[in-house]
Amino acid sequence: MIRPFDDAAIEDAVTRIRAGECVAVPTETVYGLAADATNGEAVASVYAAKGRPSFNPLIVHVPDLATAKTLADLNGAAEQLAEQFWPGPLTMVLPRAKNSPVADIVTAGLDTIAIRIPAHPAMQALLRASGRPLAAPSANASGRISPTQAAHVRQSLDGKIGLIIDAGPSGLGLESTIVAADDASVRLLRPGPITADQISDACGLAIEASKSEMITAPGQLETHYAPAKPLRLDASSGEPDEWLIGFGAVAGDASLSDTGDLIEAAANLFGCLHEADASDRPKIAVAPLPRDGIGEAIADRLARAAHRD
Ligand code: TXA
Ligand code: MG
């Protein structure tokens, strides 16, 4: 359902977000498909709705700097960029704060997190009223262009999501600029509305050559957690030297989902891989999973995790 942006629409959206649903909401860049970033299953449902064949780490949206600091560690350059460009179309990839409540699936298991404080009143209202950090990729089916109007979202995701908040066309129409800043330099990971020159002027640091080709290739190995141990797929039982990650009828040492629920499995995937890596067994095995729906994305991640050079 499309609802115009007003208090009642935000109230409806908050109810859905708290119930673990995803909601399409306008931002100043593009329309996002938002879910509670602390709820792994809610975030998995975003991937399911988009039909994404792989898990990319997602941007986490927060209402203000104080909240950003509960999720990420800001260095000096990041503080300057935050001061200058937040709220606005800038995303910063930062070290994840210790004890961050954000679900592993959001960061694809990485120890960094992409954070943005959006300026749009609808997204700001939803962030404040829900009290949750919101993971939000663009609200389009995988492989389609990003939506800048509610009607685009409906064309792309009709029947897959319960609510689209309509605030007219997105002002910028281009996804946020993404940078990774440390104390010595800033890397531009995705060009966007804020230019490299604006960024170097604001923090006085040189901009390193763009690595955007790395980031635009979906499912790039570098942007995901890969276990250090050998991993065997489609294992219906484990060897004594293997930590078995189960699914459905295959119980294992831990299970992606006892009930064979793929959404639950997607939410648990990176956590289970970390647990297996940290176990006292030298190898990992994973039970077979169906490939339908979000199962395809899980299979993609597992195939990458199993690949060894
Ligand atoms: O304008 C925008 O940024 C929109 C609106 C909805 O806010 N959002 C958006 O999100 O474009 P998304 O999830 O489609 O973009 C995520 C990008 C991906 O290219 C991903 O690889 C990168 O951010 N990213 C996220 N976390 C990262 C991390 N920890 N390290 C490196 N790259 C990361
Ligand atoms: Mg996108």
**pLDDT tens sequence across 91-124:** 999 999 999 999 999 998 899 999 999 999 999 9
Nearest to 61 by CA among 11, 4, 125: 125
Which tokens belong to 285?
A: 């095995």
In this prediction, residue 217 carries a pLDDT of 39
State whether the beta carbon of 114 lies less than 6 angstroms from ligand 1: yes
Mean pLDDT of 258-280: 89
Q: What is the pLDDT of residues 127-137, one digit of tens each?
A: 999 999 999 99
Phi and psi dihedrals of 191, rounded to 5?
Answer: -65, 150
Nearest to 137 by CA among 20, 31, 2: 31
Angle between the N-to-C axes of helices 7-18 and 121-130, in degrees from 0 to 180, rounded to the nearest 10: 50
32 CA from centroid of ligand 2 (Å)? 9
In 41-59, which positions are buried (b, 16+ CB within 10 angstroms) versus exposed (e)?
A: bbbbbbbbbbbbbbbbbbb
285 CA from centroid of ligand 1 (Å)? 30
Higher pLDDT, 256 or 205: 256
139 CA from centroid of ligand 1 (Å)? 12
- For 6, half-sphere exposure in the C-beta direction (CA atoms, 13 angstrom radius) is 4
Q: What is the pLDDT of residues 215-244, one digit of tens each?
A: 443 444 445 567 889 999 999 999 999 999
State whether the beta carbon of 59 lies less than 6 angstroms from ligand 1: yes
294 CB contacts (<8 Å, ≥6 apart)? 44, 47, 48, 262, 263, 266
DSSP helix/strand/coil, 23: strand
Mean pLDDT of 170-194: 86
Residues with a beta carbon under 5 angstroms from ion ligand 2: 138
Per the CB < 8 A criterion, the answer to whether 121 and 208 are in contact is no
In this prediction, residue 214 carries a pLDDT of 45
- Given pLDDT bands bounded at 50, 70 and 90, which one contains residue 280? very high
Mutate to test the pocket of ligand 1, among 29, 59, 111 (most ligand atoms within 8 A of CB): 59
Alpha-carbon span 237 to 244, nearest angstrom:
7
State whether the beta carbon of 57 lies less than 6 angstroms from ligand 1: yes
DSSP helix/strand/coil, 186: strand
State whether the beta carbon of 215 lies less than 6 angstroms from ligand 1: yes
Mean pLDDT of 247-263: 96
Angle between the N-to-C axes of helices 295-306 and 262-278, in degrees from 0 to 180, rounded to the nearest 10: 20
Per the CB < 8 A criterion, the answer to whether 232 and 285 are in contact is yes
Q: How many residues appear in the chain?
A: 309
First to last CA, the chain: 47
Q: What is the pLDDT of residues 120-177, one digit of tens each?
A: 999 999 999 999 999 999 999 887 778 989 998 998 898 999 999 999 998 888 889 9
Mutate to test the pocket of ligand 1, among 29, 33, 58 (most ligand atoms within 8 A of CB): 58
Q: What is the pLDDT of residues 18-69, one digit of tens each?
A: 999 999 999 999 999 999 999 999 999 999 999 877 778 999 999 999 999 9
